Amino acid sequence: MMTDITFKRPSLRQRRQHLIRQLFNGWPWIVWMSAALAVLLLLPGGLYRIRFHGTAERTYEYVSPLENGRLKAIWVDLGDAVQTNQLLCELSNDALSVQMMKDRASLSKSKDTASSLRFELEKLQLERSKTTAELQILKAKWKRTEDLLAKNLVLEQEIDDLRPDVEAMERLVKQYSTPIALLEARLAAALKDTDAIDSDELQKMQDSQTKLFSTTAGIVAEILHLPGDTVTTGDPIIRISNLTTSKVIAFIPESQTTEVSVGEKCRVITSIGKKVYYGKVMSVTADIRKLPVFTGFGDQILRGRRLVVQLDNDQQLTPGEQVIVVPDISIFKQWFGSK
């Protein structure tokens, strides 16, 4: 046994494996740091310091009638894709139907009147033509009689007998002018009335007020009435949502309004799939909204700016899709600025 009190145990040499072992003794810190880094990387905005939450623009078209009526039929279902000028629903309007019947009756009467006037006008014109022809024959006979009288081949009495007939025929020809002019004016008025009540136009008018068509392509997002319901002018029947969009609406808190400006390039990152799109800031306007739910502050008002981003090269997003908007600059510049 060693009894020398001056003996000292030599210090152990620290080897590399011991350092690694000591480092791993604090593994909870490594796990937490790794988890935090993974969360940052997995978020749509990643490590970007400047980022704004936004939504792909969703637009709606409300289909509503021009006149009051009862909904007769709906030709689409919820979720159906519709095309431009597609028939969506039909209405029945008793008052309009009665008015259409009256208009058609008036149109028929106007056509009959025009036909009758045209017949009378043609008849008078034919009679005037016959009378004019007879007048020309009498004048020719009178001229021959005058020539014969100059040669003393006929008596002057024959000239006197022809003169009243020629004068009477001339007066008769002149009298045709007034009734013919009146008939022409009445016929023109009747034709004008007929043109004003064209059957095709009446049908188009009826269709425009009883048949509702889609003015844009989209998806039926909501049906607000059922067949049999009475709807009033301007009362929406169907709501149509857009299929795709190339615009993004984002919100910028007031404290970050200087971080982005109109015309600046930016990236749009989808929350699902983390797909990256590129676009340009089209407008920055004032906006006021409630704080997002994830902040934990309910019913809190946040002032800021409304950011509208137009995607490049006709890129399209699904309306309502959640996105993150970040300026198109490097992460280093976002955190440390440019030198």
In this prediction, residue 150 carries a pLDDT of 79
Rounded to whole angstroms, the Cα distance separating 206 from 189 reads 25
% of the chain beyond a pLDDT of 90:
12
In a domain, residue 259? The reply is: yes
Q: Look at the chain and count its residues.
A: 339
- Whether residue 94 contacts residue 72, with contact meaning beta carbons closer than 8 Å, is answered with no
Whether the pLDDT of residue 237 is over 90: the answer is yes
In a domain, residue 288? The reply is: yes
Residue 229 and residue 272 in one domain: no
Whether the pLDDT of residue 259 is over 80: the answer is no
By CB atoms closer than 10 A (0-12, 13-18, 19+), residue 174 is: exposed
Phi, psi of 255 (to 5 degrees): -70, -15
Q: H or E stretch including 303?
A: strand 301-311
Token pair 């749509």: residue: 44
In this prediction, residue 220 carries a pLDDT of 93
HSE-up (13 A, CA, CB side) for residue 1: 2
> Sign of the CA dihedral 251, 254, 256, 262?
positive
Residue 202 and residue 101 in one domain: yes
Point out the domain boundary residue: 188, 223, 241: 241
In this prediction, residue 95 carries a pLDDT of 66
- In this prediction, residues 281-299 reach a mean pLDDT of 64
Residue 289 and residue 319 in one domain: yes
Residue 219 and residue 77 in one domain: yes
The per-residue pLDDT of the chain, averaged, comes to 77
% of the chain beyond a pLDDT of 70:
74
In a domain, residue 14? The reply is: no
Q: 294 falls in which pLDDT band (50, 70, 90)?
A: very low
Residue 107 and residue 189 in one domain: yes
In this prediction, residue 239 carries a pLDDT of 93
Number of folded domains in the chain?
Answer: 3
Closest CA to 224 of 93, 88, 86: 88
Point out the domain boundary residue: 241, 260, 291: 241
Tens of pLDDT, residues 162-197:
788 888 888 888 888 888 888 888 888 877 777 766
- Higher pLDDT residue, 63 or 289? 63
> Sign of the CA dihedral 300, 302, 307, 308?
positive
Residue 132 and residue 150 in one domain: yes
Token pair 């306007």: residue: 285
Whether the pLDDT of residue 20 is over 90: the answer is no
> Sign of the CA dihedral 35, 37, 40, 43?
negative
Residue 69 and residue 133 in one domain: no
Tens of pLDDT, residues 43-75:
544 555 567 888 998 888 899 988 888 899 999
In this prediction, residue 74 carries a pLDDT of 92
In this prediction, residue 19 carries a pLDDT of 54
Name 327's bridge partners: 266
Residue 116 and residue 202 in one domain: yes
Name 306's bridge partners: 251, 285
Residue 111 and residue 140 in one domain: yes
Residue 273 and residue 284 in one domain: yes
Closest CA to 70 of 185, 214, 231, 240: 231
Residue 72 and residue 221 in one domain: yes
Tokens standing for residue 96 = 């309009």
Tokens standing for residue 271 = 């929350």
Rounded to whole angstroms, the Cα distance separating 67 from 97 reads 12
Identify the domain containing residue 329 by its residue range. Answer: 44-58+243-336
Residue 51 and residue 109 in one domain: no
- DSSP assignment, residue 317? B
- Higher pLDDT residue, 25 or 313? 313
Q: 82 falls in which pLDDT band (50, 70, 90)?
A: very high
- Whether residue 280 contacts residue 313, with contact meaning beta carbons closer than 8 Å, is answered with no
Token pair 């005058």: residue: 146
Q: 13 falls in which pLDDT band (50, 70, 90)?
A: low
| CA distances, 34 to each of 40, 136, 271, 307, 332 (Å) | 10, 120, 22, 34, 20
Rounded to whole angstroms, the Cα distance separating 290 from 303 reads 9
Rounded to whole angstroms, the Cα distance separating 56 from 270 reads 9
- Whether residue 313 contacts residue 250, with contact meaning beta carbons closer than 8 Å, is answered with no
- Higher pLDDT residue, 226 or 48? 226
- Whether residue 169 contacts residue 71, with contact meaning beta carbons closer than 8 Å, is answered with no
pTM above 0.75, yes or no: no
A 10 A CB-CB count for 317 gives: 20
Rounded to whole angstroms, the Cα distance separating 56 from 238 reads 22
Name 270's bridge partners: 323
Amino acid in the structure at residue 71: L
